[in-house]
Amino acid sequence: MKVIKAAARTSKPAPADYFTGAVWMNEVVVADGPSRLNASLVTFSPGARTNWHTHPIGQLLYVTTGIGQVQKRGEPPILLQPGDTVVIPPDVEHWHGAVPNHVFAHLAMWETEGAGTVWLDRVSDLEAATVQAIPA
């Protein structure tokens, strides 16, 4: 058994090449053979988001707080709230992030085997603004 103490890991800003806006990542687990599981707690400031991307083995998102959205290329975005789970099949082009007026966080889980995430083009401000938060 292995315990990784929280103090041993720090919050890191997400790479600006793959994210728009202020995004923070907290590593939960990194694949360590034979396991291929990776997981990060990702926190998005209002309007922040990933680029379009794919995962060769797919991805699972579990929403922990705030209001966000996920979109598969060619389909309308889907509003996300705490407790929602998104199952993204292998090689599906998608993005996820916060709606314009709320923070958003999710636990992102994915397996790696060979190539990891395949990063694509940026999500435009217009694309990201197509879903609005639930009215007050």
User: Can you tell me the distance from the alpha carbon of 47 to that of 42, in angstroms, rounded to the nearest whole number?
Assistant: 14
Residues spanned by the domain of 103 = 10-125
Domain for residue 5, yes or no?
Answer: no
The one-letter code for the residue type at 64 is: T
Report if residue 93 sits inside a domain.
yes
Rounded distance between C-alpha atoms, residue 10 and residue 29, angstroms: 13
Contacts of 10 by beta carbon, 8 Å cutoff, 6+ apart:
none
Quick one: pLDDT at residue 88?
97
**pLDDT recorded at residue 135:** 52
Residue 133's contacts (CB-CB under 8 Å, 6 or more residues apart) are: 67, 99, 100, 101, 102
Total of domains in the chain? 1
- Return the structure tokens found at 15: 């790479």
131 within a domain of the structure (yes/no): no
Let me know the angle formed at the C-alpha of 63 by 74 and 38, rounded to the nearest 5 degrees: 90
Q: Which domain CATH number covers 110?
A: 2.60.120.10
Per-residue pLDDT in tens (0 to 9) along the chain, 136 residues: 888 888 888 899 999 999 999 999 999 988 887 888 899 999 999 999 999 999 999 999 999 999 999 999 999 999 999 999 999 999 999 999 999 899 999 999 998 876 679 999 999 988 888 765 555 4
Question: SS3 of 85, please?
Answer: strand
Would you say residue 61 lies in a domain? Answer: yes
Q: Determine, yes or no, domain membership for 29.
A: yes
**Confidence at residue 114, expressed as pLDDT on a 0 to 100 scale:** 65
pLDDT given at position 116: 77
